[in-house]
Amino acid sequence: MRIAAPLPTISALLLLTGCGQDLGDYAVESVRIATDVPLSDETSLSYGRFLEVRLVSDTSVTALSEEIDGLYVNADFCPLRDGNGLIAFGPFSDNGDDLGVPSEAPALRPGVDGRFHYRIYIPVAHHARAATQPGQIQLPTYDLRETAQSACLRLFAPGYDLLKSHSKIITVPAAMISTALSSEPAPSRRS
């Protein structure tokens, strides 16, 4: 015997599960190698060189602070299959403020172009040790210098929505990565 749920009950359940927040559309502005990044000294030293991906968007993530608690980056070689295929830190504001908890970050102001600017940092290479404890996350092993693939990024906010909050996929073209890797690291400014 099949029992049909009344339409108002189904509608209420859909509202409770909710759809995730659209976190915007981001374009790659530039890519370069950085060694001085807005991370702890221990993290900076353990990874060494980073691919600094500068993004631009019409979206201010700090304006979304009442709707999301935390903000993270999924990263992988394209297409984005495993959100942890590459290690990524960010997002950070253009001046280095950590935007991981948007409600605690200084309110973003648009640049002279009227848009908001962000940075994501991807270690150039990582050679992971095997996870040995139950529940331990297995970090990826990769070297951007040994591949000619584009990287895919996506900002996301964890939560209880049926559909997760996330941005559109951001493609960092292989040619931009290769050009950055072939040039000498530019002096970084600590923000």
Does 7 reside within a domain? no
The verdict on residue 190 lying in a domain is no
Q: Does residue 54 fall inside a structural domain?
A: yes
pLDDT digits (tens, 9 = 90+) for 76-113: 999 988 767 899 999 999 889 999 998 899 999 999 99
Number of domains within the chain: 1
Asked, for residue 171, whether it belongs to a domain, the answer is yes
Tell me if 144 is assigned to some domain: yes
Residue 150, domain member (yes or no):
yes
pTM for the whole thing?
A: 0.82
Is 105 a member of any domain? yes
Per-position b or e across 9-38, b if 16+ CB within 10 A of its CB: eeeeeeeeeeebbebbebebbebbbbbebb
Range of the domain at 76: 20-127+139-182
Q: What is the pLDDT of residue 189?
A: 46
The chain-wide mean pLDDT, for the chain, equals: 84
Percent of the chain at pLDDT > 90 equals 54
Point out which residues pair with 27 in neighbouring strands: 56
Q: How confident is the model at residue 190 (pLDDT cuts 50, 70, 90)?
A: very low
**Is there a domain that residue 12 lies in?**
no
